[in-house]
Amino acid sequence: MTNYIGLSATYHDAALAIVNGSGEVVFAEATERYLQYKRALNCEPDSLNRVADLLETYCDVTDDWVVAFNWSRKRPFYETFCALADYFTPAGLMRPRFNKRSTFLHKYQIFHMLACQTNSMAKGGINLVRQLRERWPDCTVRFVDFSHHLTHAAAACYTSPFEEAACLIVDSFGDGGSLAYYRYKDGRIHLLEEMKGIESLGFYYMKLTELCGFDWMRGEEWKVMGLAPYGSLDETVYALLKETLAVEGCSIRQRLDRICACMEQLEARTPVLSVQQRADLAYTGQYFFSELMVQLVNQCDRLCPSDRLVLGGGCALNSSFNGQVLEQTPFKELYVPSAPADDGTALGAALSAHDRDHPDRRPRAEILSPYLGSRLAPDRLQDMVRFCGLPCAKHSPDRLCEEAAQLLAQGKLVGWLQGRAEFGPRALGNRSILADPRDASMKDRINERVKFREPFRPFAPAILHECGTDYFEQYQPSPYMERTLRFRPEVRDKVPAVVHVDGTGRLQSVKWEWNPRFYDLIQAFYRLTGIPLLLNTSFNVMGKPMAHSVEDAVSVYLTTGLDAMVIEDYLFVKPDVENH
């Protein structure tokens, strides 16, 4: 048996994935969870102590290992040139000897990212190899690397329910560009077109995030999507943006002179924008992004006619656009993986390496479970139950869902931690904070008491799949909370806490075979209230990753306004709730 370890050696969203010799994904997790450092900026994917535990827990005892990287070892000429020109050093970043822009971002920002990326690629795998040599000194280790966009495509196609599909990858940048088209058929991924150049919808959206007053380095693009529905189209800004980017054939083309002029105008306005003007900018920027993405998806259909589309890359995290794909393009089915951004490329690298060694194997056409991350350590849970003094601990596995559903129906805020963590940025019922969606004040209550975040940020509905068509127009299954759909008008007043200002919700479809206990919890709530969905948000506070350990969970529970917490088979209820 061979173990395949994939590394996302990117300066942001580093991750590690393990695929066994049979091609089964046994582990996948972003580094930010273990470190509890959002996005794990400039951190290696194989932390020295952490990787030792992963090898012992998830890998077969073998003398054959493959370490796969998510970037091509051969780098583009411009990276080598910039390094030789000393642009990647602190002193080089300070020298005003390069143009201000070559795209939407300032040149020093681009060089900083390239410098960080160069260092991340150099560091990736060093800790892993040390642990392999110490545990299996005579083992054979092979190192393979793949193009960045191919690892995005592999993570998306190989985990999809499709036997054939068109595949579109859109991100900020790959090994030489930001856009690639693939055909997926008979278990093989075939490159059709790949754009070269700095033109990038990802860079555009990063700048839009900055102009709206948020920080793309912290991954706050979500805030633009949340704010946009409060705004309306600003015709002046839209006209400016239309001059900067255009889709031409399979590529994106930019007019740098217009970008420079547009950004100077918008940057001058940013410090004095009112709240409503920021919302209008977010709406207009999102509108332009979706307009270009529709053109790219339609081009993908022309290159590779199919009823099915697989979408990957960082831009595939734009759930607002994802919900429009089937309405505005010829495709009839859409699949977006649970981790479409760079954390997912760790899995794509491992799967690509296994595919290279097993050319006759065909992946099963079924969606991959997202519950691929770490478990909460049972010994730490037992220690917590014994020693931490948290009141009202109940060990009642047979009644757990019913008791938690009763608390939720009473308007209590419940933390819910079960099994293995989700792979990707969304809580899908294993690291969640849950609430009753019937109370319109619940959204503000959670934002103020638990998440400590902006009031315009919406919350997601987790709905029983069989009830999806009753609540959403043109319902499409959404297993990973990856798309936003419109609620039916007649049900919006029933669940106001999860209906965004524009009448939409970023839903999670829940089936029993995908997550039995979470399904049973929603069913228990349904029996009590007649509502087949719960408000679901991630178990964290703003700016922190989702809880990784029992200690992380207790910290969030005790320092926020959560009323109760369920960890595995234990229910904890705060005294004021228990005595109410």
Each residue's pLDDT tens digit, 519-551: 999 999 999 999 999 999 999 998 999 999 999
What is residue 448's predicted lDDT score, i.e. its pLDDT? 93
What is residue 194's predicted lDDT score, i.e. its pLDDT? 97
579: confidence class by pLDDT, cuts 50, 70, 90: low
Three-class secondary structure of residue 504 per DSSP:
strand
pLDDT above 90 for 578: no
Average pLDDT, the chain: 95
Query: How many residues comprise the chain?
Result: 580
Residue holding tokens 């987790």? Answer: 462
| CATH code reported for the domain at 2-159+340-368 | 3.30.420
Structure tokens belonging to residue 62: 């073998």
Mean pLDDT, range 278-302, rounded to an integer: 98
pLDDT above 60 for 124: yes
How many angstroms separate the CA atoms of 316 and 327, rounded? 16
**Between residues 85 and 392, which one has the greater pLDDT?**
85
At the fourth CATH level, the homologous superfamily of domain 373-578 is Carbamoyltransferase, C-terminal domain (3.90.870.20)
Residue holding tokens 């900026």? Answer: 41
What is residue 132's predicted lDDT score, i.e. its pLDDT? 95
The alpha carbon torsion through 172, 456, 344, 146 (nearest 10 deg) reads 0
What topology is assigned to 201-335 in CATH? Answer: Nucleotidyltransferase; domain 5 (3.30.420)
How many angstroms separate the CA atoms of 299 and 307, rounded? 14
Alpha helices in 329-433 (DSSP H): 342-357, 378-387, 400-409
Share in percent of the chain as helix, strand, coil (round to 5): 45, 20, 35
Where are the chain's structural domains? 2-159+340-368, 201-335, 373-578
Cα 542–chain centre separation: 15
How many angstroms separate the CA atoms of 155 and 170, rounded? 14
Q: What percent of the chain shows pLDDT beyond 70?
A: 99
What is residue 390's predicted lDDT score, i.e. its pLDDT? 80
Three-class secondary structure of residue 539 per DSSP:
coil
pLDDT above 90 for 577: no
How many angstroms separate the CA atoms of 350 and 276, rounded? 46
What is residue 416's predicted lDDT score, i.e. its pLDDT? 98
Residues contacting 448, CB < 8 A, separation 6+: 455, 561
271: confidence class by pLDDT, cuts 50, 70, 90: confident
Structure tokens belonging to residue 390: 């948290």
Tens of pLDDT, residues 453-503: 899 999 999 999 999 999 999 999 999 999 999 999 999 999 999 999 999
pLDDT above 80 for 391: no
What is residue 98's predicted lDDT score, i.e. its pLDDT? 66
What is residue 97's predicted lDDT score, i.e. its pLDDT? 63
**76 phi and psi, to 5 degrees?**
-60, 155
Domains 201-335 and 373-578 share a fold: no
Say if residues 386 and 334 touch (Cβ distance below 8 Å). Answer: no
Taking the whole predicted model, whether its pTM rises above 0.85 is answered as: yes
How many angstroms separate the CA atoms of 87 and 93, rounded? 6
What is residue 100's predicted lDDT score, i.e. its pLDDT? 82
Mean pLDDT, range 557-561, rounded to an integer: 95
Three-class secondary structure of residue 252 per DSSP:
strand
